[in-house]
Amino acid sequence: ETGVTQTPRHLVMGMTNKKSLKCEQHLGHNAMYWYKQSAKKPLELMFVYSLEERVENNSVPSRFSPECPNSSHLFLHLHTLQPEDSALYLCASSPGVGAYEQYFGPGTRLTVT
């Protein structure tokens, strides 16, 4: 595997379910990011991790819970989501937290029913 991978690619869940999105980067980077892309809205930054520490939480509701166990893996735990949370969730990584180029994964298409 190369670059940034995300699993699953598609996910359908009910509002009472608990699920997790996984991101893995194979680039030796130290910073990882979660973004949300909703229909007809610009991409929004959700969380930033640097060396497994969260350095940015962009006013995201607590029903989204990130976890970064090491610099190669990033999870987004989901619980009691709303239909308006349906979106494409994108993970990215960069060499560090700073003005570096970010590399994106293919995304997880989430549908909340």
- Residues near other proteins (CB under 8 A) are 4, 6, 31, 41-45, 48, 50, 55-56, 58, 88, 90, 92, 94, 97-99, 101-107, 109
DSSP secondary structure letters along the chain? --SEEEE-SEEEE-TT-EEEEEEEE-S--SEEEEEEE-TTS--EEEEEEETTEEEEE-S--TTEEEEEEETTEEEEEEES--GGG-EEEEEEEESSSSS---EE---EEEEE-
Least separation in angstroms between residue 91's CB and other proteins is 8
Q: Of 75 and 103, which CB lies nearer to other proteins in the complex structure?
A: 103
Q: Of 66 and 107, which CB lies nearer to other proteins in the complex structure?
A: 107
Give φ, ψ of 98 to 5 degrees: 165, -165
Residues in the chain: 113
Q: Of 79 and 88, which CB lies nearer to other proteins in the complex structure?
A: 88
Least separation in angstroms between residue 80's CB and other proteins is 26
Q: Of 16 and 28, which CB lies nearer to other proteins in the complex structure?
A: 28
Least separation in angstroms between residue 37's CB and other proteins is 9
